[in-house]
Amino acid sequence: MKVTASSDGRVWIEHGYWAGHYTDWTKERRLERVPISNFLRFRDQLARYRPRGVLALNQMHPCETFWNDIDGARVEWRDSNRDDKLFLNFGCDPDGKRIIAETVRAAPDLLGISTLKMPWGQWVATSLG
């Protein structure tokens, strides 16, 4: 699953899945439009977790506790000034990073596309500058 949200309210959704056999990978793509106020709420909630550059919280180091059988997400912020990335495994210090994990998991609700079933692959937050 990949979700790309743009500051003008466009949200591109790409979903890949097996259609029944392991040889027939299928991708579906669609475009949603959300109110700009939804995008702003989404952007502002995630902004507090935006690193400068790349922050990888998806392997044992730097996590003190790490469960490797838990899903995660990749969040990218792109604007005219910076390109930053957060790699988050929800098993990285699950108690200490609970708030960030809940915020990332809430992305569809923040955008107003709560009917989207996120398998917690990756999504990209894009703010066109």
pLDDT in tens, 66-105: 988 888 889 999 988 999 999 999 999 999 999 999 998 8
Reported as a pLDDT band with limits 50, 70 and 90, residue 126 is: very low
pLDDT at residue number 85: 95
Residue 9 lies in a domain: no
| Residue 93 belongs to a domain | yes
Which pLDDT tens digit goes with each residue over 14-59? Answer: 887 776 777 777 888 889 999 999 999 999 999 999 999 999 999 8
| 27 in a structural domain | no
Task: Determine, yes or no, domain membership for 89.
Answer: yes
Total of domains in the chain:
1
Query: What's the pLDDT band for 116 if we cut at 50, 70, 90?
Result: low
- Residues of the domain holding 98: 35-126
pLDDT confidence of residue 129 = 36
Residue 12 lies in a domain: no
Q: Examine residue 21 and state whether it is found in any structural domain, yes or no.
A: no
DSSP string, 52-120: SSEEEESSTTT-SSB-TTS-EEEEEEE-SS-EEEEEEETTBSTTTTHHHHHHHHTHHHHHT-TT----S
pLDDT recorded at residue 123: 46
Confidence band of 127 (pLDDT split at 50, 70, 90): very low
Q: What is the pTM of this model?
A: 0.79
Residue-level pLDDT at 34: 95
Residue 24 lies in a domain: no
